[in-house]
Amino acid sequence: MKEIIERVKRISGAEVSVRRENLIFVDVSRDKLISMLYDMKLEGFNQLSIMSAVDRLEDNEFEIFYVLYNYREKINAVVRSRIERENAEIETAEKIYPPAHTYERELTEMFGIKVLGNSESGKPFILENWKDKPPMRKDFDSVRYVNSHYEFRHSAEEETEGKNE
Amino acid sequence: MVGKEILIAIGIPLLAFSIGISLMMFRRKIAARIQRRYGPNFIQPLIDIFKLLAKKGNITHGIMYDLGPIIALAASITVVFFIPMPGMKLMTGSADVIALLYIMVIGSLATALGAGESANPNSSIGVARALTLMLGYDLPFVIVIITLVLKYHTTNLYAIMQAQAGGSWAMWVLPLSAIAGIIVTYGALGEHPFDAAVAPNEVATGPMAEYGGKHLGLLMINHAFHIYIELALFVDLFMGGASNIFYFYAKMFVIFVLIIFFDEVLPRFRIDDAVRFYWRWPTILALIGLIIVLVK
Amino acid sequence: MDKMTEEQYRAISNMLRKRSLWMLHYCTGCGAMELPPTMTSRYDMERFGIVPYVTPRQADILLVTGYVNTKTLRRIVTVYEQMLDPKYVIGFGSCPINGGVYWDSYSVIKQLDKYIPVDLYIAGCMPRPEAIITAFRHLMDLVDKGKADGYRRYKENLDYYKKNQRKVLG
Amino acid sequence: MMNMSLGILLATPFIGGILAYLGGKIHRWVRYTLAILFSVLTFCELFFYYGTESANLTWGKLFGSLLVLRINNLSWLFAFIVTGISMLVVIFSVNDMEEHKGLDFYYMELLFVEGAMLGIVLAGDLITFFMFWEMMSWTSYILVIQNGEMSMKAGYKYIIMSIIGAYAMLASLGMVFGKAHSLVFSNVANALAKSSPGFVIGFFVLFGAGLLVKAAIMPLHTWLPDAHSEAPSPVSPLLSGVLIKMGAYGLFVLFYGLLSVQLLGNLIPTILPVPLLLYIVQWLAAISIVLATFLAIMQEDAKRLLAYSSISQIGYVVLGIATGSSLGIAGGLFHALNHAIFKSLLFFAIGAVIYRTGTRNMSELGGLIKKMPITFTGALIGIVALAGVPPLNGFVSKWMIYEALLQKKEVFLLIFAFVGSTGAFLYLYRFIHSVFLGQLPEKYENVREVPFLMQIPIWILSILAVLFGVFPGIPMKVISKAEAFFGITPVKYNLYGFPQGSAMGALKVINISSVLVTALIVVLVLFYTLPKSKKLSQYDTYAAGQIVTPETKYNYSYGFYMSFGRVVNPVFKWSADKIYNAWARALKVFGDYMRRVYTGNLETYGSYIVVLLTIVAFVILIGGRLW
């Protein structure tokens, strides 16, 4: 299991840190992200388990991460990189890992991160006529949205008009 | 004399309906008991039908949508008159077995047209499957009918029934044709292994997908008549009818319970496998029966 | 039909509707798992004549089992309008009552009663089959006494319901 | 006087055709009125001859054999079909072919085809029969190729197969002329009675081949689906309803006019219930019933579906005629009349749909019941009649054919016939479901009902279908007289059906239909006392909660019987067309090889002659010395 980490370390621009016996983190800069993914696939990490983003509001950045899994070595690798928060853009990993296609569409809708080159980037994904800010961003206040769009049931005592029993 | 005619004209369909509906009641009770459940109270199908007829907000998709169940029920009532009841010849004089085969088809054709008008793909797929299945089970059915006609040298249903009244049932004389006949009655009733046409989980109850309220009530009455027709035809062809109504009911009940047992246990055929099944085993059985009669 | 037979006709039809309620097999949320035990041998709701049917045209009861988000609400309203008239709605669990655990979620509606008339709520974060059976018995009493008139309320103040629906569905 | 007007009867369509052509030059409406006038005139003239036994008229002499026209009940029946359907076709094509170019020529051809078919039916001797047979072939060929490039190919295939059939028929004529020196039917019959079995079989096969091509029996059927579906919509009913009946008429004349059941019987003594030659024709018909039905189930194009259905229905007619028993023959003739009625009705209905929507591909149509109710009722009556459902006419004739087969104990033929008729339900439901029921596509929103003139044929044929269905006695009167004329003991019948003795069982259609009508009234009353129902738009259907919008094509009509296809497709791997194409390719290869021998320039021919002469001279010299 050791030499797989050595091999990953040798890939240029990757700072590898071992979290657990079968989980390593690979931090990489923004522009080498796609090439890093390609190298990881060559190393045998041929499954993309999940791909999403973390909204680092405090240092005004998004953190994109891809969780990969290597069947032979039975080891997970998380490739992470930071991108700026305003009009964030990443290239699609569709060609390397086909499942990334759906994850990227969800990324666009939920975080507002534009993905260049995704075959269906423009199409609506889950939300139906959603006018507000992308909901997964931390600066989206869901309680305010809920109060403005839905009415809560008044507790029995405050109930005035008898329509809803 | 005329009074007796009117009495028969009203009484026979009601009798047929009550036999059909009682068999449906037994069916739900026995099915529940097979599944180790308590099952609904006895007259549940009757309550269902009256509840449907009493529904206030009915819908319609056009003329043919309304006419479908109406003609289907009318056709089923007509067929009842051409199947001899115990002790009564009814109108078997004016239409023999071959004509009966064609009269029995009016009902399914009318339902199919009604389902077509309801502009729902589920109902169209259901109808396509029902007609394919009909083509499937018609081959052995025809061979069985021919065997019986050749055996008794007449196509008059009443004469065939009379010929077997003594106890020499066609079931014992032509066992292979009888087995094929049961399997065909199975398919004609649309029971479980062959109910791809009305499969709830595949095509949302097939032709009845868009039917509700009073239309569905009429269709359930039609289904009760249909059960009576199929079983009465089988009993008349193979078990020599009956002298009084109770023997007649007992024979039909035995056959129906046999069908229910298979119905609750077997999984559902895919529609083209059902046709292949029908064109393989029941057809071979029926052909052997036919050759036996031809040779004798 | 003078007053007497009008009354008798309504009483008989209510009794008929009570004895044969047909349930629409259209389960929206996480409550659908509670229905198979109620249908099968241990609790057997068919004793009361309640049978699962597939299309809204054939069904009387619409079960809203569990949380209702805006996308499902659009389908539930369509299905409700496709059902034939004496129809009843049962809300399963706490989510249709006040949003339950999803009270602060942006996509879950908080009160089902605002959008379609609900005749009966069953509390509990997914009520067990016993609770469902008692709910069905309670609904049967309501139907028998003619008090389960959700469909009439929907027809009378249709614009009130439509306004709420448009507010959420957009 | 009676004989002379027979000539007038035959001449009216031809005169009408020429006048319509000339009238067309003057003004459009003159052509239409003349065409309709003359076709109606021939139809009315026919009623002078109702019930007359054989009125003969010799109108010429050729190679020493008299040319005779005669009419008896059989030819009256087929003349009724010819003139009736042609009249309706002319009426239908007034509106339908408006924007078609070359209309004068079209109407002339239409009336010429009618005249030719009338000539076949009235022919009293084989030469007139053959002459009008050829005229029918090429006039209908011209009618088939009216519709542009695709129909040229279909017409080409049609005319080739008709010519091959005609040559076979001509050869048989030559054979018989050599022996009988006069081709009038009676002389030919006597000559055949005396001649040797081999001669009779030779005549039977050659003459029969020509007839079977036109009657589109299975191995020789490949022209029919292309010709009927590519022909313009008013011509298809003429082709399907009438033209293939001429083949059936010819077969009847061949079996019972020229030869007779006894002659055929002791020709090749076999234990079969039916003479061997007839038995073979029966099996060909039975196979064509079943295979054509399975093919019709798989079709996507409405007119091809109806064309294949014509092949299977004409199979019933030929099956009936070839049974040899009086009930079967009556059934066959009655089914010919019925098929002419309901098949033309269906082709008129689809013609009306094409006139309004412009397409006949079933997966694009749908929901036309809302816009074209009258065409829908016509199509509904057509499919119910064709399926053989009791109150309508298809049922009685099929019932008679089944009873005849049962009497003759020809059990496997009966099984084939039954499977064919149940299969008919499938493709007929497919036809009316894909075209009239289901969702109306947006582009046919403003479709209107067809103009009144095109509705007349649909009305008339629907009424006829119901009339002959409930009272089979009316046509049976003519049919039984026709059978008596040809020496077949007619079947016992009454106005409402068949009493006890006539067949294995009895049939009273009036009882079935009266019980059905009363039950219908009772159920209608019950239905309308219940609470009223609300009309819904076609987009308000169950789609598991999804909202159906006009853009989504929410209709199941393409590949309707795909699942049944999986069962039947292995049967269709090899088809008659493939065999014919294989022959054609083999012929072409042989032709190329011959081209190397006949190079076409004179020197090679010269060298061939020189070489040949030397061989001949050499043989004579050597031969002379050897003997």
- What would the pLDDT profile of D33-78 be if each residue is shown by its tens digit? 888 888 888 888 888 777 777 677 777 777 777 778 888 888 889 9
Nearest CA in chain A to C167: A149
The pLDDT assigned to A160 comes to: 56
Distance from CA of D517 to the nearest CA of B (A): 8
Other chains touching D, judged by 3 or more CB pairs under 8 Å = B, C
Nearest CA in chain D to B156: D505
pLDDT digits over D127-149, tens only? 889 989 999 998 989 888 887 78
Is C4 within 8 Å of chain B by CB? Answer: no
Contacts of B205 in chain C (CB under 8 A): 53-55, 58
Cα–Cα distances (Å) from D515 to A52, B103, C108, D227, D473, in that order, read 72, 11, 59, 43, 20
Distance from CA of A154 to the nearest CA of C (A): 9
What percent of chain D is predicted at pLDDT more than 70? 98
Q: Are D477 and D424 found together in one domain?
A: yes
Using the beta-carbon criterion (under 8 Å), do A145 and C70 form an inter-chain contact?
no
Using the beta-carbon criterion (under 8 Å), do C113 and A149 form an inter-chain contact?
no
Q: Is B15 exposed, middle or buried (0-12, 13-18, 19+ CB in 10 A)?
A: middle
**By the 8 A CB rule, do D88 and D461 touch?**
yes
Q: Which of A122, A14, A3, A20 is nearest to A66 (CA)?
A: A14
Residue C139, beta-bridge partner list: none
The pLDDT assigned to D240 comes to: 87
* pLDDT at A100 > cutoff 80: yes
Using the beta-carbon criterion (under 8 Å), do D504 and B154 form an inter-chain contact?
yes
* pLDDT at C1 > cutoff 60: no
Is B124 within 8 Å of chain D by CB? Answer: yes
Q: Are D561 and D607 found together in one domain?
A: no
Contacts with C, D 546-575, CB within 8 Å: 546-547
Give D257's DSSP letter.
I
**Overall average pLDDT of the C143-154 stretch:** 87
Using the beta-carbon criterion (under 8 Å), do B37 and C58 form an inter-chain contact?
no
CB-based contacts of D588, cutoff 8 Å, min separation 6: none
pLDDT digits over B189-216, tens only? 988 888 888 888 888 888 888 888 899 9
Q: Are D332 and D406 found together in one domain?
A: yes
Q: Look at chain D and report how many structural domains it folds into.
A: 2
* pLDDT at D218 > cutoff 90: no
Using the beta-carbon criterion (under 8 Å), do B56 and C40 form an inter-chain contact?
no
Residue C108, beta-bridge partner list: C69
Is B201 within 8 Å of chain D by CB? Answer: no
**Per-domain residue ranges of chain A:** 2-125
pLDDT digits over D411-447, tens only? 899 999 999 999 999 999 999 999 998 888 888 888 8
**Overall average pLDDT of the D508-535 stretch:** 88
User: Looking at D565, D590, D618, which one is the last position of a domain?
Assistant: D565
Other chains touching C, judged by 3 or more CB pairs under 8 Å = A, B, D
Looking at per-residue confidence, does A25 or D579 come out higher? A25
**Highest mean pLDDT pick, D312-321, D602-611, D616-625:** D312-321
pLDDT digits over B240-287, tens only? 877 788 889 999 999 999 999 988 888 888 998 999 999 999 999 999
The pLDDT assigned to D1 comes to: 45
Of the candidate ranges A109-118, B39-48, D490-499, the one whose mean pLDDT is the lowest: D490-499
On whether residue D322 sits in a domain, the answer given is yes
Kindly tell me whether chain A and chain D come into contact, counting contact as 3+ Cβ pairs under 8 Å. Answer: no
ipTM of the complex: 0.86
**By the 8 A CB rule, do B210 and D541 touch?**
yes
* pLDDT at A157 > cutoff 60: no
User: Looking at D565, D591, D610, which one is the last position of a domain?
Assistant: D565
Contacts of D542 in chain C (CB under 8 A): 55-57, 82
Distance from CA of D33 to the nearest CA of B (A): 38
Q: Are D477 and D608 found together in one domain?
A: no
Domain assignment of residue D335, given as a range: 270-528+553-565
Assigned CATH topology for domain A2-125: Beta Polymerase; domain 2 (3.30.460)
Contacts of C54 in chain B (CB under 8 A): 200-201, 204-205, 209
On whether residue D391 sits in a domain, the answer given is yes
The pLDDT assigned to A163 comes to: 52
User: Looking at D520, D541, D565, which one is the last position of a domain?
Assistant: D565
pLDDT digits over B39-93, tens only? 888 899 999 999 999 888 888 888 889 999 999 999 999 999 888 888 777 777 7
Q: Which of B119, B130, B97, B63 is nearest to B233 (CA)?
A: B97
Q: Are D560 and D587 found together in one domain?
A: no
Domain assignment of residue C64, given as a range: 3-169
- The two tokens of residue B185 are 């009655």
Contacts of C169 in chain A (CB under 8 A): 128-129
Distance from CA of D67 to the nearest CA of B (A): 46
- The two tokens of residue B67 are 């006419």
CATH of the domain at C119: 3.40.50.12280
**By the 8 A CB rule, do B119 and D397 touch?**
no
**Overall average pLDDT of the C112-141 stretch:** 90
Interior CA angle at D515 toward D510 and D521, to 5°?
125
Looking at per-residue confidence, does D329 or D598 come out higher? D329
Q: Are D387 and D416 found together in one domain?
A: yes
Is D545 within 8 Å of chain C by CB? Answer: yes
Other chains touching A, judged by 3 or more CB pairs under 8 Å = C
Distance from CA of B177 to the nearest CA of D (A): 15
Nearest CA in chain C to A155: C98
Q: How far apart are CA D536 and CA D149, in angstroms?
A: 44
* pLDDT at D511 > cutoff 60: yes
